[in-house]
A and B are shown apart, each in its own frame.
Chain A
Amino acid sequence: EVQLVESGGGLVQPGGSLRLSCVASGFTFRSYSMNWVRQAPGKGLEWVSYISSSSRTIHYADSVKGRFTISRDNAKNSLFLEVTGLRDGDTAVYYCATMTPSLVLEYWGQGTLVTVSS
Chain B
Amino acid sequence: QSVLTQPPSVSAAPGQRVTISCSGSTSNIGNNYVSWYQQLPGTAPKLLIYDNNERPSGISDRFSGSKFGTSATLGITGLQTGDEADYYCGAWDSSLNAVIFGGGTKLTVL
Interface of A with B (CB < 8 Å)? 35, 37, 44-47, 50, 59, 61, 95, 100, 102-111
Q: How far is the CA of A50 from the CA of B92 in the complex (A)?
A: 11
Q: How far is the CB of B59 from chain A (nearest CB, A)?
A: 12
Which of B9-17, B18-26, B71-79, B95-103 touches A? B95-103
A-B contact count (CB 8 A): 62
Inter-subunit contact A105/B44 (CB<8 Å): no
Contacts of A105 in B (CB 8 A): 35, 37, 45, 47, 90, 99
Q: How far is the CA of A28 from the CA of B26 in the complex (A)?
A: 33
Within 8 A of A (CB), among B31-71: 32-33, 35, 37, 39, 44-47, 50-51, 56
Contacts of B56 in A (CB 8 A): 106
Interface majority SS (helix, strand, loop, mixed), chain A: strand
Interface majority SS (helix, strand, loop, mixed), chain B: strand
Inter-subunit contact B104/A45 (CB<8 Å): yes
Knowing A47-B98, A47-B100, A61-B98 touch, does A106 contact B2 (C-beta < 8 A)? no
Inter-subunit contact A50/B88 (CB<8 Å): no
Q: Which residue of B lies closest to A102 (CB)?
A: B33
Contacts of A37 in B (CB 8 A): 45, 99
